[in-house]
Amino acid sequence: MHDSTRPHDLLWGMTPAQLPADAPDWAHGVLIAGQPVVVRRAMVASGQLAVGLRGSSRDQRYASVMPACAVLRKVRPEQLVERLPVSDLPALLALKQLKPNMDALGLCWGVTGSVGFQLATGLPTAHADSDLDLLLRTPLALSRPRARELQRLLDEAPCRVDMQLETPAGAIALREWAGHSPRVLVKCATGARLVRDPWAPEELAA
């Protein structure tokens, strides 16, 4: 298990007192209820973590920071797919259907987004029309033909599935890497940029 905190990790321990004065009331309510925050990609001061809060509706999203020393518990996306609940939600049915093939890749993978939040908290954040958001850790290059095979597998699921590949440069969308554009958008802590090969050292240094 990687020791450092990474994007999409869920963290417990942030308190309302750590929110800025202009934070919305619903954000205070989320922390009072003991809900986790999600790590996001951003540059912050040493000893701080960039996090996001989610409320009960899609428009309730708030970016903030929390002290690293305040973290009481951490759950990674890959921990959320170890045991799956019985459910008739299309996104959870898709997750159960895809799990054997994902496990067979031999790479760390997990679930994020509303489905991941529901699995971590038990709160009904996913619904019948929810997409399934997956993360695949790819420290070594994933060929574009293999990416296309994986995308075809995801497209057979009973709901829309979006996967992010976590590369050394940052995150790229599998759907983009499986396409034919010579460059893809990589998201990193300093922002987003177009690269040809997110596994190439010269791309990281650019």
Q: What is the pLDDT of residues 10-61, one digit of tens each?
A: 999 999 999 999 999 999 999 999 999 999 999 999 999 999 999 988 899 9
Instruction: Please state the domain count of the chain.
Output: 2
Percent residues over pLDDT 90 in the chain = 91
Same domain (yes/no): 69, 98: no
Same domain (yes/no): 15, 51: yes
Q: Is 131 among the catalytic positions?
A: yes
Rounded Cα distance between 82 and 204, Å, is 32
Strand partners, 134: 111, 163
Residue 1 pLDDT greater than 50, yes or no? no
Give the pLDDT of residue 204: 62
For the four alpha carbons of 176, 181, 183 and 185, in that order, the dihedral sign comes to negative
pTM of the model: 0.93
Residue 2 pLDDT greater than 60, yes or no? no
Same domain (yes/no): 107, 148: yes
Q: Mean pLDDT for the chain?
A: 95
Q: Specify the amino acid at residue 186.
A: V
Residue 176 pLDDT greater than 70, yes or no? yes
- Domain with 45, as residue range(s), is 10-75
Strand partners, 186: 193
Give the pLDDT of residue 171: 97
Q: Is 59 among the catalytic positions?
A: no
Same domain (yes/no): 138, 71: no
Please tell me which residue in 3, 59, 88, 131 is annotated as part of the active site. Answer: 131
Is the CB of residue 165 less than 8 Å from the CB of residue 172?
A: yes
Average pLDDT over residues 105-129: 96
Residue 94 pLDDT greater than 60, yes or no? yes
In a domain, 140, yes or no: yes
Q: How many Cβ atoms sit within 10 Å of the Cβ of residue 71? A: 19
Last residue of a domain, one of 23, 49, 75: 75
Rounded Cα distance between 183 and 198, Å, is 9
Please tell me which residue in 133, 155, 162, 197 is annotated as part of the active site. Answer: 133
Give the pLDDT of residue 3: 63
In a domain, 176, yes or no: yes
Average pLDDT over residues 186-198: 93
Give the pLDDT of residue 202: 72
